[in-house]
Amino acid sequence: MIRFENLTKSFWVNGTRKVVIDNLDATLPTGKSLALLGRNGAGKSTLLQMIAGTMRPDHGQIVSDGTISWPVGFGGSFHRELTGAQNVRFIARIYGVDTTSLIQFVQDFAELGKHFHMPVRSYSSGMRSRLAFGTSMGIRFDTYLVDEVTAVGDAKFRRKSRAVFRERMKTSSAILVSHEMNQVRQFCDSGMVLEHGRISYFDDLDEAIALHQELMA
């Protein structure tokens, strides 16, 4: 269960306050893999970062009774001056998982080669995303936050990403942001649409997709 209580987030843009999450009250059900849909700039990535705790709301709070990953497609949580391996080791200690096992999993999965032992500041955005995805998939969470991550890399890597993500979904749930409706249908069983800072939730995924496509038209 993830519950939003009077959640608000805004940014100052060219001297004007832009509200992206507007006094949101909602409860997301347990055991559902949810598609988070909305137009570009609607605040989807912002909401994911607040759920993960990597961004603070202006006011309100998010309450959860399970473990939640960081946004998988978001590589900003890594220390730029540390190597990929050092970042993974640090994260393993924070989450209380076996350091050696997690480093081995990420090294094999992310396919970063010698860059795994180089500072993250030298990584491309795609490399950071692969490091983030591999690290999060190496830790068992109740809910995975996924922001377009399976689009990273070549076709072979995307297939591998989808396979490991599908395996995790057998025992966990997810909140998935994606512009690919085929991917949404593959991994999600319900959906929500973020528009003007508010969420419309649908048990029926097709209803959520229909509203999203209507708003995008």
How many domains does one find in the chain? Answer: 1
Q: Per residue in 85-141, pLDDT tens?
A: 999 999 999 999 999 999 999 999 999 999 999 999 999 888 888 898 899 899 999
Sign of CA dihedral 29, 178, 216, 9: positive
Q: Which single residue is written with the structure tokens 């990953």?
A: 69
Q: Residue 16 pairs with which residues in a beta bridge? A: 13
3-class secondary structure, 124: coil
Q: Per residue in 108-121, pLDDT tens?
A: 999 999 999 999 99
How far is Cα 38 from Cα 120, in angstroms, rounded to an integer?
31
Residue 158: inside a domain, yes or no? no
Q: Per residue in 23-41, pLDDT tens?
A: 999 999 888 899 999 998 8
Residue 58: inside a domain, yes or no? yes
Global pTM reads: 0.86
3-class secondary structure, 21: strand
Give the model's pLDDT for residue 129. Answer: 82
Residue 43: inside a domain, yes or no? yes
Domain that holds residue 203: 1-67+175-217
- Domain containing residue 51: CATH number: 3.40.50.300
CA distances from 71 to 13, 58, 140, 208 (A): 24, 20, 14, 22
Give the model's pLDDT for residue 133. Answer: 85
Residue 22: inside a domain, yes or no? yes
Token duo for residue 209: 């997709």
